[in-house]
Amino acid sequence: MLVGAAICAALWLVSLPDVDLDRMDGWGLLPALPVLWYVSFAGVVALYLVVLLRRAAPGRSPMALHVVLVAVLYGTTSAIYDVPRFPYVYKHIGVVEYFLANGGVDRSIDIYNNFPGFFYLAAGFHLVTTVPVEDMAQWAQPVFALLFAGLVYWVAGSLTTSRRIRYGTALLFTLGDWVAQNYFAPQALAYVLSLLVVGGMLRTVPSGAAGWRWRRFARPRDPLAATPDDAPRTSAFWSSRWGALVLVLVFAVVAVSHQMSPVIVIVQSIVIVVLLRPAHPWLPVVFVLIEVAWLAQAWSFLTRNFELFSFGGTENIDPPTVDTTAALPGHATVLWAAPALMAFVALLAMGSVALGLWRKQAAHVLVPALVGGIPLGLILGQPYGQEAIFRLYLFGLPWACFLIARWLFADRVRHRPVRRVAAVVVTVVMAALLPPSMYGSELIAWQSPSDVAIARAFEREAPEGSVLVSLTPSFPSRLTADYPAHLSGGTVENPDNLVSRLEFEEASGEPAGLVEVARNACAPGGPEAPVYLALGPSGERFSRLYGLIEPEVYEAFVAGLTSSPDFELVEQVGDSHLFRCVVAVPAG
């Protein structure tokens, strides 16, 4: 299998020069990927299945296969793009650069300075290794994806000693993780550490009936066993005082790095203590105290700028919506892949729980079902925008995949051929849905070096208090240590991008109308807050994807700005333009 993994890796490497980014369309990156890329992806998944479904023990060859799988899925964009993927990753780069330049935080600036753990660690890594922050962001996804999979395998080890089930859990997790929150961001680090905390607590639970807090489950059943004949051993280290200290310190890093993750970990730790008898049942209390203490430090900023609790709201449930009526062909279809994948995983997990209850194996499905499922209730209580449903899906995914894997990849089964067919079907469906889920909106994720260059030029050269208005929300910004000098944020009345302005839709068909929209965007400006306008490939691709501006209209729009006396072209890098509003006109 190592030879097969090497062949798949070689095919992937050979395919990279043939990726044609100009072929990206409404289907995202999918048409730009060469045939060899798909052969490599299918090959590594097929080899993984062969290892897991054959009678022989899987050994350690799945490790090599998983490295190749992650390289194919996440290393591709890191290798073919000149700058980091996603527009929103650049604001994280800017915070790290600010820390490096100023040596500390300023809580009055933004939410990141109030949860600085990840940024301090990234800055420290840069100081020790001299790796540029932008390079760290460039390769963060494959690195974090490997860490995710490794921790999921490790956490599954607290529920089963079966390597087959553990590897199966890791495989299904990677195939189900379309959310891609493994980019250069606080939530990626927080997720890794959250898995470590929960997995460490589970490894302190005594095996056998002694591990249960409730007698109805206690008789001959082990609470942390995937099957009745599987009883993982208690870890001496995690049960010790040193292990408890590590868990407390790791949780503290989670608490100072991200807003939502520590709350999820607290809920999961409470579930563990209520159901089981871990060696340190007092840990949830300590976790709550740490979280309260840190929130108290940030309380002034948080209460001024955010709504911390909102019971009964639906903003966390509603997925992000976009108007696809004029989108490029295929985009409206490809957007269904992600919800289909989420629904498929959820239905399989619920089916696995139901099957376990029907077979009177509640003791073996209750813990993963509740640890993974109960935090979903946070959707109704803690506002986190439309990203919350995806964040909670990610936290529930390891447990859902374990529940599925314990049926598909069990070491001892009665109807092996049927189970094998089911395993193949489930894996193939997830593997088929993952690429469109991940890459379907790649025209927005793909960032251009020229856009990054003019964004950097604006922050370093524009006067303090200047406002940057882009064509679309997909423009990279806040990427240097000088970003606090240009924090505007935008408002409903004066958004920081043209497509969000109320008059944009009516004017989008004519270059002159778009120039007028840009002129109106200059209205809030003045000597103390000059307005700059950024146009470039990222905005053009966004507007082309959703049919907002025709390509020829966009070109004429840029030409119109260049010739207008109301705009001064202050920077041009390739197809990216930075204009300064010369005259701030009255609104309306």
- DSSP string for 277-345: --S-TTHHHHHHHHHHHHHHHHHHHHHHH-----TT--TTTSPP----TTSPTTHHHHTTHHHHHHHHH
Q: What is the pLDDT of residue 588?
A: 46
Residue 569, strand partner residues: 579
In a domain, 588, yes or no: no
Identify whether 587 is part of a domain: no
Residues 6 or more apart in contact with residue 435 via CB below 8 angstroms: 29, 30, 41
Q: Give phi and psi for 489, each to the nearest 5.
A: 80, -35
**CA separation for the pair 59, 303 (Å, rounded):** 52
Q: How far apart are CA 8 and CA 128, in angstroms?
A: 34
What is the predicted pLDDT for the residue at 263? 93
106 with 58, same domain? no
- Any domain includes 443: no
Are 229 and 113 found together in one domain? no
| Claim to verify: residue 430 and residue 458 sit in the same structural domain | no
Last residue of a domain, one of 438, 462, 496: 438
Residues 108 and 161 in one domain: no
Give burial (CB, 10 Å; 0-12/13-18/19+) of 360: exposed
What is the residue type of 540? E
Q: Mind giving me the DSSP string for 346-384?
A: HHHHHHHHHHHHHTT-HHHHHHHHHHHHGGGGGGGTS--
Structural domain boundaries, residue 559: 448-581
Q: Are residues 459 and 434 in the same domain?
A: no
CATH number at residue 532: 3.40.50
Is residue 269 in some structural domain?
A: yes
Ramachandran bin of 375, using left for φ above 0, alpha for ψ from -120 to 50, beta for the remaining angles: alpha
Residues 116 and 195 in one domain: no
Domain count, the chain: 3
Q: Is residue 374 part of a domain?
A: yes
Decide if 586 is inside a domain.
no
Q: Which pLDDT score is estimated for 312?
A: 46
468 with 372, same domain?
no
What local confidence, expressed as pLDDT, does residue 526 receive? 59
What is the DSSP secondary structure assignment for residue 560, as one 8-state letter? H
Same-domain check for residues 496 and 555? yes
Does the residue 291 lie in any domain? yes
Residue 258 lies in a domain: yes
User: Strand, helix or coil at 534?
Assistant: strand
Low-confidence ranges of the chain (pLDDT < 50): 310-312, 492, 585, 587-588
The pLDDT assigned to 322 comes to: 66
Q: Which of 396, 412, 438 is the last residue of a domain?
A: 438
d(CA 296, CA 284) in angstroms, rounded, equals 18
Q: pLDDT by residue (tens digit) across 266-318?
A: 999 999 999 999 999 999 999 999 999 999 988 888 777 665 554 445 555 55
Q: What is the pLDDT of residue 519?
A: 92
Reading the block at residue 546, the tokens are 């959703």
Residues 499 and 532 grouped into a single domain: yes
259 & 382 share domain: yes
Answering whether pTM is above 0.85, one says yes
| DSSP code of residue 259 | S
Are residues 161 and 230 both part of a single domain? yes
Q: Are residues 129 and 164 in the same domain?
A: no
pLDDT for the residue numbered 335: 94
| Predicted local confidence at residue 104, as pLDDT | 85
Rounded to a whole number of angstroms, the CA Rg of the chain reads 25
pLDDT at 217: 61
